[in-house]
Amino acid sequence: MTRTIAAILAVSLTAAAAVSAAWAQGAAQPLVKFQIKDGGIPASLTGRPGDPQKGRAVIVDQKLGNCLACHEVSALKSEPYHGNVGPSLDGVASQVSEAQIRLRIVDPTTLNPDTMMPSFYRVDGLNRVLHQFQGKPILTAEQVEDVVAFLETLK
């Protein structure tokens, strides 16, 4: 029970810090429209592939993706604070398609309404968002594509 409460607190703080960072970066640009097909978002949000090195930086940045707060990634063992709330991301690109990875980053609640993972590219239907953060996604479309590109290297 204590571990669950700690996990929920960690995810909440992670999401709050990420939204704060996005707001500080002026990420209030209109969201790119996308279509969900077969459990994924097949088209890049930017129309081009992301940069895996930039995606790595987003994943480890505690004020952006902060993926390591919940997930373990063996390729990033040198980075601190690997969590075990979410599944390991090792081999994720061998388990799900690029389109499915993209959807899991953009809005994981479409696949699991009870997930603790934040929706990194969604602004509507969220609960308890401070006024100054409303209408601003955690990650930009480019950052989403960069994270997708990095996760695609984890085969």
Q: Which CATH architecture has domain 2-151?
A: Orthogonal Bundle (1.10)
* Residue partners of 96: CB distance under 8 A and separation at least 6: 40, 104
For residue 113 the two structure tokens come to 């309404």
State the Cα–Cα distance between residues 94 and 55, nearest whole angstrom.
18
State the Cα–Cα distance between residues 97 and 115, nearest whole angstrom.
20
If you compute the radius of gyration of the chain from its CA atoms, what whole number of angstroms results?
Answer: 14
Name 37's bridge partners.
Answer: 40
State the Cα–Cα distance between residues 75 and 154, nearest whole angstrom.
8
Percentage of the chain surpassing pLDDT 90? 70
State the Cα–Cα distance between residues 109 and 105, nearest whole angstrom.
10
| Residue-wise pLDDT tens digits, 39-73 | 999 999 999 999 999 999 999 999 889 999 999 99
| Residue-wise pLDDT tens digits, 79-117 | 998 999 999 999 999 999 999 999 999 999 999 999 999
State the Cα–Cα distance between residues 103 and 109, nearest whole angstrom.
9
Task: Give me the sign of the Cα torsion angle 75, 80, 84, 86.
Answer: negative
